[in-house]
Amino acid sequence: MKHLTASSFVSIMAIALTGCSALQPANVPPMAVYRLEATAPGSSVAPANVTASILVGNIRAAAGFDTSRMLYTRQPYQVEEFQQSQWQKPPAAMLMPLVATALESTGMFKAVLQAPNATLTTYRLDLELLSLQQDFSSKPSHVQFKLRAHLSDRQTQQVMAWREFSISIPTASEDAYGSVLASNQAVAQVLQQLRVFCVEQITLAAQARKKQP
């Protein structure tokens, strides 16, 4: 068997190292993780005579939106995902405590509970996340946030009222972080509208009960 020359040995090692490097994964930027943190309005302490309570049910998400991936669209009916950006949790899960905090701030409830708490409450609020995505079909792009709410009387098991909230917020930049900022603004505004909706409907229900013989 012939002995390898020094130059042959170096050539073989170079080829081997090249092959190994080809098997190594490319340098992929780390995933950027974001969260929804809508600023809650100033809290109001419930008066001592307040006895009403409310349960926030598990927030459902429409098909395609029950994911932690950040979504965007460039044309109707097509949804795409940002490859290097995602939410800390699916938005529906992050909305739950934000909704509870918003309701607590109204001062209308002795207690605001979150599912899966089984305690019987006066009212129940069920929500469905219909859309949360960045739309690049126009400039500047914008975030579209849609939320549907059903407010129920738990004693009668009847829906008192329902409403669909929809808001579009222009983005400050044409990227995922622009989507994050606009999403938080959209959520904050819808939460304020949701507070008003619940207060109005519960007030109307209370007035109607007083008029009953």
Can you give the CATH number for the domain in which 168 is found?
Answer: 3.40.50.10610
Within a domain: residue 80? yes
Whether 20 maps to a domain, the answer reads yes
pLDDT at 67 over 90: yes
Number of independent structural domains in the chain: 1
Question: In this model, does residue 70 exceed pLDDT 70?
Answer: yes
> Using 50, 70 and 90 to split pLDDT, how confident is the model at 50?
confident
Cα dihedral value 201, 203, 209, 210, nearest 10: -160
Domain of 195 in residue numbering reads as: 6-211
Element (H, E) at 85: strand 80-87
Which residues, in sequence order, are bridge partners of residue 114? 56
Nearest to 194 by CA among 166, 159, 168: 166
Residue 1: inside a domain: no
- Determine the average pLDDT of the residues in 100-125: 94
Q: How far apart are CA 62 and CA 80, in angstroms?
A: 16
pLDDT at 205: 87
Q: Is residue 66 part of a domain?
A: yes
Please determine, for residue 7, whether its predicted confidence score (pLDDT) is greater than 80: no
Residue with tokens 């605001």: 112
Please report the pLDDT score of residue 18 as a whole number.
Answer: 54
Does the pTM surpass 0.75? The reply is yes
Taking the C-alpha atoms of residue 192 and residue 178, their distance in angstroms, rounded to an integer, is: 22
- What's the pLDDT at 210? 78
| Residue 77 region by backbone torsions, left for phi larger than 0, else alpha for psi between -120 and 50, else beta | left
**Cα radius of gyration rounded to whole Å, the chain:** 26
The two tokens of residue 141 are 């792009």
Mean pLDDT score, 111-139: 96
